[in-house]
């Protein structure tokens, strides 16, 4: 693990915004445990417990146990992490009762949406169904569904998007496989809350970035910092004028934990930082400005047909975080600092490979 990522994990582990005491002695089942958000959350939870001489038990649901054990090798002797190896699309047969369930597992890469739309929808829906069934069976204290800004679709107007707003999503577009299946999962979760009494909360993430993003991540917040670290110009495939909410990984994780532990049953919460609202072009220009000595620029090229299939149809999408802020959460990292940290991590990774 690189030093930038370690620093960020410790900042969450030491955060006073999270009611950690509610987790002491509890067991959390976390899906998508080797993904960007799931792994970061697990690192933060275990570090907090170790630093405060407390016990927080993690069951990491993974498809590849060997990969997971390698990722969390430093914590295997802590007695706080165990693994459930299975496909989330299959029935959860785990006998152990989890007090809290955090469902992060989802295909969240635009490149994958266009290549595997059916698998994207199946993973989202069947995975959520199986976990809700497990939550009902073991009578978990709470189930957190990790959703997305994309469920709002295209909304007319320039105002902030609140949790009760809804826009248009074209169901005849393959790219809609992701937002529509995530939206359906929200309704499924709320239905379990209503019909079966499952305690459900929903965290709608804005676009998340920062250290720890996976090597093959095709989102622009992952690709552009790599360009800077590799001394390459940033190539834009559009004018990048879409104004959107972005959130740094540390703020996203504290936001999710806040929703899990303080949120109201059956409610959805936007997780978006007021400090990181910008356009796609704004991200590119900010990144270039961080390293003027490199003489890099932002270039514009026409996208290919394959690239066009990956594009979100959403234009402006700025979320209102007021509902989450009312629970006591607030963002700590601004856009420039977050992008700087991301580039520094990529540069550190590049240096390690070169050595």
Confidence of residue 343 (pLDDT cuts 50, 70, 90): very high
Q: How many domains does the chain have?
A: 1
> Is residue 142 in some structural domain?
yes
Region 166-175 average pLDDT: 92
Residue-wise pLDDT tens digits, 253-276: 999 999 999 999 999 999 999 999
- Residue 224 located in a structural domain: no
According to the model, what pLDDT value does residue 355 have? Answer: 46
Q: What mean pLDDT value characterizes the chain?
A: 92
Is the overall model pTM greater than 0.75, yes or no?
Answer: yes
Domain presence at residue 68: yes
Residue 11 resides in a domain: yes
More confident residue, 215 or 188: 188
What pLDDT is stored for residue 241 in this prediction?
A: 86
Domain-embedded: residue 219: no
- Has residue 345 been placed in a domain? no
Question: Domain of 140: which CATH number?
Answer: 3.40.50.720
208 — pLDDT class (breaks 50, 70, 90): very high
Q: How far is CA 47 from CA 15, 147, 332, in A?
A: 11, 25, 19
What are the tens digits of pLDDT across the range 314-330? 667 899 999 999 999 99
Q: Looking at residue 110, what is its pLDDT? A: 74
Q: Percentage of the chain surpassing pLDDT 70?
A: 94
SS (H, E, C) the chain: CCHHHHHHHHHHHCCCCCCHHHHCCCEEEEECCCCHHHHHHHHHHHHHHHHCCCCCEEEEEECCHHHHHHHCHHHHHHCCEEEEECCCCCCCCCCCCCCEEEECCCCCCHHHHHHCHHHHHHHHHHHHHHHHHHHHHHCCCEEEEEEEHHHHCECCCCCCECCCCCCECCCCCHHHHHHHHHHHHHHHHHHHHHHHCCCEEEEEECEEECCCCCCCCCCHHHHHHHHHHCCCCEEECCCCCCEEEEEEHHHHHHHHHHHHHHCCCCEEEEECCHHHEEEHHHHHHHHHHHCHHHCCCEEECCCCHHHHHHCCCCCCECECCHHHHCCCCCCCCCHHHHHHHHHHHHHHHHHHHHC
**Domain membership flag for residue 300:** no
pLDDT at 354: 53
On whether residue 326 sits in a domain, the answer given is yes
Domain that holds residue 257: 3-212+246-275+318-333
Instruction: State the pLDDT confidence band at 306, using cuts at 50, 70 and 90.
Output: low
In the structure encoding, which two tokens stand for residue 281, read together?
């072009």
């Amino acid at each position: 693990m690189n030093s930038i990522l370690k620093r960020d994990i410790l900042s969450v582990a030491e955060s006073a915004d999270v009611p950690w005491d509610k987790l002491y002695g509890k067991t959390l089942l976390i899906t998508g445990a080797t993904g960007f958000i799931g792994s970061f959350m697990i690192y933060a939870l275990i570090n907090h417990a170790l630093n405060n001489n407390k016990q927080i038990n993690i069951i990491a649901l993974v498809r590849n146990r060997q990969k997971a054990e390698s990722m969390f090798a430093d914590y295997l002797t802590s007695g706080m992490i165990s693994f459930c190896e299975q496909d989330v699309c299959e029935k959860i047969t785990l006998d152990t009762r989890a007090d809290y369930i955090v469902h992060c597992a989802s295909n969240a890469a635009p490149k994958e949406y266009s290549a595997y739309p059916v698998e994207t929808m199946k993973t989202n829906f069947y995975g959520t169904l199986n976990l809700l069934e497990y939550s009902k069976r073991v009578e978990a204290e709470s189930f957190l569904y990790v959703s997305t800004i994309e469920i709002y679709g295209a909304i007319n107007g320039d105002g902030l998007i609140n949790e009760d707003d809804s826009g248009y999503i074209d169901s005849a577009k393959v790219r809609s496989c992701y937002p529509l299946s995530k939206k359906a999962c929200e309704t499924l979760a709320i239905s379990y809350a209503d019909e079966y009494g499952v305690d459900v909360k929903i965290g709608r993430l804005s676009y998340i970035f920062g250290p720890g993003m996976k090597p093959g991540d095709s989102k622009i917040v992952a690709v552009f910092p790599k360009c800077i670290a590799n001394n390459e110009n940033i190539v834009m495939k559009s004018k990048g004028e879409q104004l959107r909410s972005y959130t740094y990984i540390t703020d996203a994780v504290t936001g999710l934990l806040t929703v899990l532990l303080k949120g109201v049953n059956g409610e959805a919460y936007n997780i978006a930082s007021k400090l990181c609202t910008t356009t796609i072009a704004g991200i590119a220009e900010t990144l270039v400005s961080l390293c003027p000595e490199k003489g890099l620029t932002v270039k514009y090229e026409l996208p290919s047909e394959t690239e066009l299939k990956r594009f979100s149809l959403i234009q402006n999408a700025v979320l209102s975080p007021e509902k989450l802020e009312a629970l006591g959460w607030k963002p700590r990292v601004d856009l420039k600092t977050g992008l700087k940290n991301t580039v520094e991590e990529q540069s550190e990774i590049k240096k390690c490979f070169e050595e």
